[in-house]
Amino acid sequence: MRIIKINDEDHYVVTPAKYFFRSTMIHDVMTTGGMLVVNCRTGLLKIHRPGVQSNESKEEGIKFFFVNDQVWHILARDIDVLLIQLSDFLTEGIEGTLRCTTRPEVGVKLTANAQVENYESLVRRYYNEAMKGTK
């Protein structure tokens, strides 16, 4: 087990199983020098790219959700991990709406036949709007 410090906090470095390399996002992260890490204090999974400023919210209260059939799935605050989670839902044929606590009245509707490339820019724009004022 390898532990590294990021912003004075301990993080476990996680190596994904071979199966997860089918995900283009996981493959991209791992082949471009990124790594998956888990914060030892909070248990949150995020993507860490050494030398790149983290885009994770400093605001602890903001949360992102994927809502389908009245079930609310809590998502990561790190945009790259959030996109991987959404990709997993859509790959499984699960449709829903991305929502957050700072803008609950507005959401991004995602359909199961959507490809990552088709919704990624829209999700990033929604994420950036939701994060305004929290950094």
pLDDT string in tens for the chain (135-residue length)? 789 988 888 999 988 888 877 777 787 788 888 888 888 888 888 888 876 655 454 445 678 888 887 788 888 888 888 888 888 888 888 888 888 877 777 788 888 776 666 788 888 888 888 887 555
Model pLDDT, residue 8: 86
Classify residue 56 as exposed, middle or buried by CB count within 10 Å of its CB (0-12, 13-18, 19+): buried
CA distance 66 to 73: 5
State the pTM of this model: 0.56
Looking up tokens 């990552």 gives 116
Model pLDDT, residue 57: 43
Model pLDDT, residue 116: 61
Model pLDDT, residue 45: 82
- Tokens at 45, concatenated: 């999974």
